[in-house]
Amino acid sequence: MSGREYEFPPAALFEPIAICPYRERSVRVDGCLGDWSESEILPALGELAGGEQYATLRSAWNEHGLFLAVEVEKQEPIVTNRQTPSAGDAIELFIDTRGARSGHRATQFCYHLVILPTGPGSGGQEPVIWREPIRRSLQRSPEPDFDAIRVAAGLGDDCYAMELAFEPDSLHGYEPAEGLRIGFAAVIHDIQRGRQYWGTAPDFPYERDPSTWSLLEHGPPDP
Amino acid sequence: MLEQLLEAVAGESGFDLDTPFEELADEHQRLVLYGTGDRELRVNDRLIARFRGLVPSIEETSRLSSRFRKRVGRILRDLPCPTCNGGRVNAEAAAARFRGRTIVELCSEPLSETAAFFSSVELSEREHDLTGEILEEITRRLRLLDEVGLGYLTLNRSAPSLSGGESQRVRLAGQIGSGLTGVLYVLDEPTVGVHPSDNERMLQALKDLRDLGNTALVVEHDEQTLREADHLIDLGPGSGPDGGEVIASGTPNQVMRRKTSQTGQFLAGELQVPVPAERRPVSGPPRNGDPQEGWLSIIGARHHNLRNIDAHFPLGVLTCVTGPSGSGKTSLVNEILYPELAYHLHGAQDVGGPHRRILGLEQVDGVINIDQNPIGQTPRSSPVTYTGLFDLVRELYSMLPEAMVRGYGPERFSFNKKGGRCEACEGMGRRLVEMHFLPDVWVECEECGGRRYNAETCDIEYRGRSIADVLEMTAGEALEHFDRFPRIRHILQTMVDVGLGYLPLGQPAPMLSGGEAQRVKLARELAKPARGHTVYLLDEPTTGLHCADVLKLLEVLQRLVEAGNTVIVIEHNLDVMKVADWIIDLGPGGGDGGGEIVATGPPEDIAASERSTTGPFLRAALERSRREQPQWQAVSRPPARSDHRAALEALAEDTQRPWERDGRAWHLGPETPTGEPRQWEAGALETFIELAASALGLEDADWADRQYVRLYRDGEGDWVARARTDRQWDVRLQIRAPKGIFEQSRLEQALKLPTWDEIDDLPRYGKRPRVRINTRSRDYDLITVWGFFEHEICSQAFRQMVERALQPEPVAVVAE
Ligand SMILES: Nc1ncnc2c1ncn2[C@@H]1O[C@H](COP(=O)(O)OP(=O)(O)O)[C@@H](O)[C@H]1O
Ligand SMILES: [Mg+2]
Ligand SMILES: [Zn+2]
Ligand SMILES: [Zn+2]
């Protein structure tokens, strides 16, 4: 279900570049969004893709890495499916650490990551993250350094939150710096409410074509 | 968000979003169309954007995926290039003239005229040396195109705008021109869309090919082609499972003598479409453009080649619009009449091609265009879903004893919903594989082998067939299989009546031919309750039909008319023309040689017309035909809903739903209705019901529902306590308590229920209290407890809460 039907996707009219603000103190990756500020919420690009808008994304960066948070409203209990992530609650991230937006084929800087808010870990409570291969890549990117990627989930009765921190070099070629632009898109899955997109749109071949992702620009440190 | 982005584009460039596009300055129009290029606009302090512009973004997205290409195709229109005015050549080339004519002019007139022009050219000796051979070749090729009946086309028509039959004939002309020998040519219904007068030329072209030393193999229903063939191979005897054999093989005369060959019998004149002895009476057509009762008139039609004509369609009869290819039938009927009726009667968006007025609309209630467009784009759509048959069949399957015992509802048998379908292919039976640079392809799902359903769903059988089997049945087989169900039978019978008895019910929409799609639409319309005063439009409905099926189709069209409707068909098939009540014949030729009404009246009048190209063929057909008065029946009404219910209930007679049979076992059983293991403790539910029943002074609760166990005060009225049992990880217990006696935090403290997060080893999460009071209702406070363990419900505090909440209602004291 792709939500609202459109003749022509408004997302195709623009190449958005969202500002990822600088923050002095690193985010505590604990699944609780208390230490994020209002100004770190990403613009609601999901509206361009149509469908229900039930998730909010936040981002920030500093020398210690890139921080992301996704907050998802839930009506039904969380379910996850490791085999078919789209058959449950899941978040897909698409990151191109060079953010060129020119080629239609993935390079060694492109990643497709899948994150489940709960999973098979101890007691099923730990979130799970893995990387999916990107079809038709020109070059396959090196395996992410999962020790340098921190993930935490906070599970509530009517929402869940995911926090992620990518340390420098956790993804090939990622070196946070002012003005850096990375390719970025996200797809949030919820079987009841359909998919919510950020920075790309349904029917775009975003799973294989990095030119369909938006850009995230690392903003300047506050004066 | 979209507004913000658009505002940024307009604000930055200095125009106003409320200004209509035509009134924008040129530079702003260019910006909307072609974007801001690399320039980045600041939308707000957290967002920058480049605006691509309409043209590049449409081009870009249609390159991205084939799905977009299709979708974008719908909003794009081809317009003549503004620089060359559609002439395709630059100014220098367009200025060059040969005998006073430019290349653009020569390419934009019907090629029969172009051909005449070139053959009339006389060359000087010098000119002959220079251009003689070229000129001969041009003349020869044009003549070939003309000979296959394409003289009305212009040379500059783009290939995609040609109909299938036209492009087939263009290729045919090219082949004859090539002079190859020893080639086997295979043609599929080359006469589609060809007027009988052009047929002869086309046949001549095929014979020319043969005489050059080639073989032509033609799949065809057209009588004239069959008669002139050197050899016939007749397959049959029936269609689908009833076909597949060679019934006759030989010269047309040999085939005619074969009694078992339907084709032979038609050729021999044994089987034929009889001409009605008496046609339906039609009063004389209106004169000089006045409105007249019983007529629908288009006045001053000027679309394409139509020459400012007045066309009058009689209402309540079967009308046939005839004429050579390119004479203007489609322009008149599909491009003026249909859009105008749809616009006025149904508020559709498009308006018809140029014409002055349309009269008589008030006598018509609706219009239905039964065209040959696909009934859907994905395999989710198929005849069984499109005709509404599947809803009935799913209902039937859900009423089967085994389905009832398992608690399967109609949705379980849907391949569009989770539950009963195969999840690997999401009920499609196939999976879409995107191919680089090639159109996407569908492959069969390996999980279900194309059956679309999971194994449990296929366990449920009616007369030995599962729902997946039903999708593979032909309409004819299904008619027998479901003969006890009047409404199902009714729809299937109409499918058989329109000649679709051989069609598998679940055949995916993209795999239906245009003619099949058209007949599926016709069947759907026929199966609906008769409406009367509706205009049905059909463009060449006999395409792909064998003579025997044409007979059936005509029967169906007549039934629509008998029910008080108007049927207008565009046809080249003489069997249809000769049984029509009225004919409007366009012509006399195609393109600029057409666009007039040459003759109009009952078929006999057309047959007698001197000018009509159709006339002589119709005359011959009428002379060959038997006359008899058919007994047409009006379309049958769909059987009453109640009859259908009765048939279904007979099926389910003694079967009770599992919750009706043994509610306790249903609600306390080891699995939820969706088949997952029930995790909460049965004792929790039992204890709750016992507590509530005893507080209310009842023996037991009402267990006979699929989802809920309910308790009523004094056993009637609205429920006062209930439990929802169909979820895997909690049983939701609810009580309607008198207002104001409970308070959230006090109740939390009293019950001491840990939150989900505080219970280890449960994959159910949440920080919120598991007891909540909702005070929004005026009449009661709703207490909800998410139960799991029995011991929690057995606590002293819980018992007290139930007793207080359900205490006998205080007697209202009415003040004097
Ligand atoms: N899209 C079009 N653009 C220009 N001319 C057209 C177009 N479609 C049809 N015509 C021309 O209009 C005339 C009538 O065509 P049409 O109504 O399709 O005839 P028919 O249905 O009788 O075969 C023909 O000369 C045809 O070539
Ligand atoms: Mg036509
Ligand atoms: Zn041009
Ligand atoms: Zn399948």
Q: Comparing C-alpha atoms, which of B656, B662, B657, B654 is closest to residue B703?
A: B662
Mean pLDDT of A125-150: 89
Residue B776 lies in a domain: yes
- Whether the Cβ atoms of residue B427 and residue B452 lie closer than 8 Å to each other: yes
Beta carbons of B471 and B505 less than 8 angstroms apart: yes
For ligand 4, the distance from its centroid to the CA atom of residue B127, given in whole angstroms, is: 70
The closest alpha carbon to B319, from B339, B295, B300, belongs to B295
Flag whether pLDDT at A60 surpasses 90. yes
DSSP category for residue B628: E
Q: Please tell me whether residues B366 and B404 are part of one structural domain.
A: no
B499-514 pLDDT, tens digit per residue, is: 899 899 999 888 888 8
Instruction: Calculate how close chain A gets to B348, using CA atoms only, in Å.
Output: 17
ipTM surpasses cut 0.95: no
Give, for ligand 1, the residue of B78, B145, B305, B321 to mutate: max count of ligand atoms closer than 8 Å to Cβ: B305
- The helix (H) or strand (E) run that includes residue B97 is strand B97-98
Q: Chain A: give the shortest CA distance to residue B44, in Å.
A: 9
B731 to chain A nearest CA, in Å? Answer: 13
The full length of chain A comes to 223
Which ranges in B583-681 belong to alpha helices (H)? 603-608, 615-624, 641-652, 658-661, 663-668
Which residue pairs from B165-171 have beta carbons closer than 8 angstroms and sit at least 24 positions apart in sequence?
A: B165/B189, B165/B190, B165/B191, B165/B192, B165/B193, B165/B194, B166/B193, B166/B325, B169/B194, B169/B202, B169/B205, B170/B145
Q: Which residues in chain B have Cβ-Cβ distances shorter than 8 Å to A19?
A: 45-48
Q: Which of A6, A14, A61, A217 is the mutation pick for testing B, counting most B CBs within 10 A?
A: A14
Note whether B64 contacts A: Cβ–Cβ < 8 A: yes
Which residue among A48, A77, A203 sits closest to B1, beta carbon to beta carbon? Answer: A48
Contacts of A217 in chain B (CB under 8 A): 48
What pLDDT is stored for residue A121 in this prediction? 47
Q: How many domains are contained in chain B?
A: 4
With a cut of 50, list the residues of chain B below it in pLDDT. 812-816
Tell whether B537 and B563 lie within a shared domain: yes
Domain of B27? 2-73
Asked if residue B308 lies in contact with residue B301, where contact means CB atoms within 8 angstroms, the answer is: yes
Please work out whether the CB of residue B304 comes within 6 Å of at least one atom of ligand 1: yes
pLDDT of B199:
83
- pLDDT of residue A122 exceeding 50, the answer is no
Q: Which residues contact B744 (CB under 8 A, 6 or more apart)?
A: B769, B772, B773
- Identify whether residues B587 and B538 lie together within a single domain: yes
Residues belonging to chain B: 816
Of B510, B544, B576, the last residue of a domain is B510
Q: What is the CA radius of gyration of chain A?
A: 16
Q: Per the CB < 8 Å rule, is A9 touching B5?
A: no
**What residue segments make up the domains of chain A, in order of their start?**
16-218
How far off is chain B from A27, nearest CA to CA, in Å? 19
Cβ atoms of residues A58 and A68 within 8 Å: yes
CA distances from B260 to B228, B268, B270, B497 (A): 21, 12, 12, 22
Ligand 1 contact, B614 CB (< 6 A): no
pTM attached to this predicted model: 0.59
pLDDT value, residue B623: 92
Residues B673 and B795 in one domain: yes
| pLDDT of B526 | 87
Task: Tell the burial category of B690 from Cβ atoms under 10 Å away from its Cβ (0-12, 13-18, 19+).
Answer: middle
Q: Are residues B64 and B20 in the same domain?
A: yes
CATH number, residue B517 = 3.40.50.300
Distance from CA of A167 to the nearest CA of B (A): 23
Question: Is the same domain home to B444 and B549?
Answer: no
Q: Could you tell which of B145, B302, B304 is best to mutate to test the pocket of ligand 1, judged by most ligand atoms within 8 Å of the CB?
A: B304
What are the tens digits of pLDDT across the range B201-223? 888 888 988 998 999 999 998 88
Give the full edge-to-edge strand order of the sheet including A149-155. A55-62, A65-73, A159-166, A149-155
Around Cβ B350, how many Cβ atoms within 10 Å?
11
- Whether B77 and chain A come into contact, CB under 8 Å, resolves to no
Tell me if chain A has a CB within 8 Å of the CB of B72: yes
Q: Are residues B612 and B699 in the same domain?
A: no
Domain match, B503 and B519 both = no
B502 and B387 co-located in one domain: yes
Same domain, B699 and B778: yes
Query: Would you list which residues of chain A are within 8 Å, Cβ to Cβ, of chain B?
Result: 7-10, 12-19, 21, 39, 42-45, 47-48, 77-78, 84, 87, 118, 123-125, 136, 155-158, 160, 191, 203-205, 209, 212, 217
What's the CATH number where B433 sits?
1.20.1580.10
Strand order in the sheet with B708-712: B708-712, B719-724, B731-737, B781-787, B771-774
With vertex at residue B717, the alpha carbon angle to CA B711 and CA B722, rounded to the nearest 5 degrees, is 25
Q: Report the nearest-CA residue for atom 3 of ligand 1.
A: B304
The CA B121 to ligand 1 mean position distance, Å, reads: 28
Domain A16-218 falls under CATH 1.10.10.10: no
B330 lines ligand 1 (CB under 6 A): yes
Instruction: With CB atoms and an 8 Å threshold, state whether B5 touches A204.
Output: no
Of B46, B54, B423, which is closest to A19 when you measure between CB atoms? B46
User: Does residue B759 form part of some domain?
Assistant: yes
Task: Check pocket membership of B305 for ligand 1, CB cut-off 6 A.
Answer: yes
Residue ending a domain, choose from B18, B48, B73:
B73
CA of B81 to the centre of ligand 3 (A): 4
Considering the domain architecture, whether residues B394 and B411 belong to the same structural domain is answered as yes
- The closest of B715, B710, B705, B755 to B736, measured between CA atoms, is B710
Smallest Cα–Cα separation from B413: which of B445, B456, B442?
B456
Quote the CA–CA distance of A167 and A148 in Å, as a whole number: 5
Residue A120 confidence (pLDDT): 58
Q: How open is the CA angle B245-B472-B555, to the nearest 5 degrees?
A: 65
Q: Which of B73, B108, B125 is the last residue of a domain?
A: B73
- Structural contact between residues A208 and A167, judged by C-beta atoms closer than 8 angstroms: no
Same-domain pairing of B436 and B344: no
Residue B463 is assigned to a structural domain of this protein: yes
The two structure tokens encoding residue B103: 């290349």
B71 reaches A (C-beta below 8 A): yes
